[in-house]
Structure 1
Amino acid sequence: MESSEQQMRSVADTRGKHRISAELKQLEQEARFLEEVLENGEKENRSDNSEELEQVDKMDKASAVCKELLVNTQTRPDPLLPETTGPTSPLWDRWFERPPDASSCRCWIL
């Protein structure tokens, strides 16, 4: 019986060694791949960064663009909103105002 147990242990050890060596090879392969990706990425990033810096240098200042946008939006009316010069019916205002005697109002919203 001991010989069969020893054989099983040696077979299990061999499988374990094979599994460990396979995992080690896989990790080495992944490490090489990541190193290549990192090297290529650094090269691309250097060129991308210089291009981005050139584009930023060519751009106008943001504050000038924001001021222009603000002027354009404030001077033009919103095309989606109707233009009214006042309330169309003064009777509608009473629905949106507080009552004259707010203490007698039982409305929780106001």
Structure 2
Amino acid sequence: MRMSSTVMRKDDGADGSRRRSSDEEVRRSRERRSGGLEGEEEELEQLEKMDNGISLLQRIKNKLLHHLLSSSLDVLRFLNNVDSKPDPLLPQTTGAVNSTWDQWFERPKEAKRCGCFIL
């Protein structure tokens, strides 16, 4: 049996194709940058677009936070107002108004009676 003369290198892919080494990538990025003023101007334009996008997102975030804070303060004021006043539709009682209604919510006292009850 004869050994293959091809040797897998560290930077070879699984299919045997060579991947670009980091040195090649660095060299290519330097070549792109050394294109002169045009390349620098493009980079500056891209940075300016990014800065504009960031400032727009910050303004939107601040506006949303302002609305959120003001609405949550309104909700807190409303809840404090509601909790401080008694409900006019509910009667102020200390016990049952009609004691005959309690029988429906208690267990039957006699074992012979039906075991069905509301609660």
Q: Please, what TM-score do these two structures have when normalized by structure 2?
A: 0.48
Aligned equivalent of 1:39: 73
Aligned equivalent of 2:45: 11
d(CA) in 1 for partners of 2:108, 2:94: 21
C-alpha change, 1:61 and 1:2, in structure 2 (3 Å) is farther
Alignment of 1:29 onto 2:79: no
Q: Which has the higher helix share?
A: 1
C-alpha change, 1:2 and 1:58, in structure 2 (3 Å) is farther
**What stretches of structure 1 of length at least 5 have no aligned partner?**
80-110
Question: Match of 2:45, as an amino acid?
Answer: V
Give matches, 1:1-110, under 5 Å: 1-51=35-85, 54-55=86-87, 58-60=92-94, 68=102, 72-75=106-109, 77-78=114-115
Count of residues in Structure 1 that have an aligned counterpart in Structure 2? 74
Aligned equivalent of 1:104: none
Question: Match of 1:31, as an amino acid?
Answer: L
Deviation string, structure 1 residues 26-85 (Cα, Å, up to 9, x no partner): 11101110121122112101112123xx359935469xx9xx357644256256xxxxxx
d(CA) in 1 for partners of 2:105, 2:64: 56
Sequence identity, in percent?
A: 8
CA-atom RMSD, angstroms?
3.3
